[in-house]
């Protein structure tokens, strides 16, 4: 069986302000109506002998991942939660150990959750060829046939042909080059982009990890042995995983093993790592613009314009990126979008919330959005999904007023249980033990007005929580 392993733990800082720490790019719908992680799973349709996927993600994103899987009707074998990021080698080690618990002959298909593949049929053909080589003990990576001298990707120099098919031995991996070097690579026809996608038997890659990076395997084995089941999630042991060395599977194994192989792949691949990549991959109008949202242009060419919450109007732009969200606007020449990470670093240094979260903050029960604030008050719009319930809690520094605008709410207030319908409200005094639930079949929407001396999200004491927080 081929076990898809979806690596969904990245941060995607170069796609700020859409991608942020608590809602990174793999969870966003950037190219169509599905998110990148959903597209990663959807493109597997048509492959034979597939097992349920393993999804490895940051624990901060667990409920969003679970909801996106539920929305597309996918039941993962496990959603494995990393307490800290340790790069791809530990993730592959955990996946291999988990797979071998169920299938000693399991084959891992390692897929980052943030790639675009425009021609899935070609991808399927490459996977099928790679499977044949993996069965013979090869560790297979997919080398993307370059379409330009890209400086943002690492490269693979192909070696001699294998015994059948298009696969090649790997002569060597090379780091991201400067432009003249990239041009020389592409001109030879011997170099391929390093896609970061792999296919190999779980026992083979684990043996090579034991050979070249035994400390990683030891830490991952311990973190998995001590893992706890948390609702639909498998939570790796924090102490053991934090002790794991940080390394990529490329450095830890692929650059050292004598079992490496590469299957060339030309499938409209893009790793969507920057706004320039999204412009390259997007559907363009007659002026070469990629436009998403409510955008009006005049004499604008070869630009990417994205509006989230309001009208975006642009005049006289050439080769620019403009991205608008509820709390931030990014403007950059297309040839400088790699520097967006510097903006994020500055925001982090200043402890700006815009580096971490959007105005709309997602929770396992739904989401909330701040719509106004001032001295000693804050107003939020809260949406609770059908059948969900917030924790039983109290606050030391604020009182709250709730007004229902859609749906039905069941409110616990100390020893009372109150049923509220549209246009009805309740007051929760400071210190009251309270809970909110949506017993209905449609989303519950309410306006919350907080009043008090301190309105931070950490002013909360939870007594019961079905989500284990």
For residue 140, count other CB atoms closer than 10 A to its CB.
28
Three-state SS at 225: helix
What local confidence, expressed as pLDDT, does residue 466 receive? 84
Domains of the chain are 2-270 (3.90.550.10), 275-345 (no CATH), 360-464 (2.60.120.10)
The strands making up 304-307's β-sheet, listed across from edge to edge, are 290-292, 304-307, 320-324, 329-333
What local confidence, expressed as pLDDT, does residue 307 receive? 97
Per-residue pLDDT reduced to its tens digit, 241-294: 999 999 999 999 999 999 999 999 999 999 998 999 999 999 999 999 999 999
Burial 11-20 (b: 16+ CB within 10 A, else e): bbbbbbbbbb
For residue 318, count other CB atoms closer than 10 A to its CB.
13
Q: Which residues of the chain have pLDDT under 50?
A: none
**What are the start-end ranges of the E strands in 101-203?**
107-112, 116-117, 139-144, 155-161, 168-174, 191-201
Per-residue pLDDT reduced to its tens digit, 196-207: 999 999 999 999
What local confidence, expressed as pLDDT, does residue 360 receive? 87
C-alpha–C-alpha distance, residues 108 and 94, integer Å: 11
What local confidence, expressed as pLDDT, does residue 231 receive? 77
What local confidence, expressed as pLDDT, does residue 11 receive? 78
What local confidence, expressed as pLDDT, does residue 452 receive? 95
What local confidence, expressed as pLDDT, does residue 436 receive? 97
What local confidence, expressed as pLDDT, does residue 419 receive? 97
User: Residue for token digits 């004598």?
Assistant: 258
C-alpha–C-alpha distance, residues 1 and 53, integer Å: 11
The strands making up 461-464's β-sheet, listed across from edge to edge, are 416-420, 409-413, 434-437, 392-394, 461-464
For residue 183, count other CB atoms closer than 10 A to its CB.
13
What local confidence, expressed as pLDDT, does residue 468 receive? 75
What local confidence, expressed as pLDDT, does residue 191 receive? 96
């Amino acid at each position: 069986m081929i076990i898809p392993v979806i690596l969904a733990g990245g941060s995607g800082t170069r796609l700020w302000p859409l991608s942020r720490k608590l809602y990174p790019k793999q969870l966003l719908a950037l190219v169509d109506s599905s998110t990148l992680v959903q597209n990663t799973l959807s493109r597997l349709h048509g492959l034979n002998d597939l097992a349920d996927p393993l999804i490895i993600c940051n624990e901060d994103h667990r409920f969003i991942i679970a909801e996106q899987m539920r929305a597309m009707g996918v039941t993962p074998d496990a959603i494995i939660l990393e307490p800290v990021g340790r790069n791809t080698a530990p993730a592959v080690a955990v996946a291999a150990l988990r797979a071998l618990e169920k299938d000693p002959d399991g084959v891992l298909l390692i897929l980052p959750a943030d790639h675009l593949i425009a021609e899935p049929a070609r991808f399927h053909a490459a996977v099928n060829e790679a499977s044949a080589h993996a069965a013979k003990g090869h560790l297979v990576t997919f080398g993307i046939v370059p379409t330009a001298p890209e400086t943002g990707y690492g490269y693979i120099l192909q070696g001699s042909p294998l015994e059948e098919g298009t696969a090649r031995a790997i002569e060597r991996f090379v780091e991201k080059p400067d432009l003249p070097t990239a041009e020389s690579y592409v001109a030879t026809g011997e170099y391929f982009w390093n896609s970061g996608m792999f296919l190999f038997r779980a026992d083979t890659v684990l043996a090579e990890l034991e050979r070249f990076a035994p400390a990683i395997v030891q830490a991952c084995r311990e973190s998995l042995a001590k893992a706890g089941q948390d609702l639909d999630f498998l939570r790796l042991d924090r102490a053991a995983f934090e002790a794991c060395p940080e390394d990529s599977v490329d450095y830890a194994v692929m650059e050292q093993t004598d079992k490496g192989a590469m299957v060339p792949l030309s499938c409209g691949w893009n790793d969507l790592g920057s706004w320039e990549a999204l412009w390259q991959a997007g559907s363009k109008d007659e002026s070469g613009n990629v436009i998403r949202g409510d955008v009006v242009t005049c004499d604008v060419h070869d630009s990417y314009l994205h509006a989230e919450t309001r009208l975006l109007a642009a005049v006289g732009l050439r080769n620019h990126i403009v991205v608008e969200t509820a709390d931030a606007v990014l403007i950059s020449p297309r040839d400088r979008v790699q520097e967006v990470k510097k903006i994020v670093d500055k925001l982090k240094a200043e402890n700006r919330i815009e580096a971490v979260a959007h105005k709309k903050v997602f929770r396992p029960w739904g989401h909330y959005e701040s719509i106004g604030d001032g001295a000693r008050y804050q107003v939020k719009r809260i949406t609770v999904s059908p059948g969900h319930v917030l924790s039983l809690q109290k606050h030391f520094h604020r009182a709250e007023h709730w007004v229902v605008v859609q749906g039905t709410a069941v409110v616990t207030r100390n020893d009372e249980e109150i049923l509220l319908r549209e246009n009805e409200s309740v007051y929760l005094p400071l210190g009251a033990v309270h809970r909110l639930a949506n017993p209905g079949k449609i989303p519950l929407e309410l306006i919350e007005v907080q009043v008090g001396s301190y309105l931070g999200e950490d002013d909360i004491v939870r007594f019961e929580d079905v989500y284990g927080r």
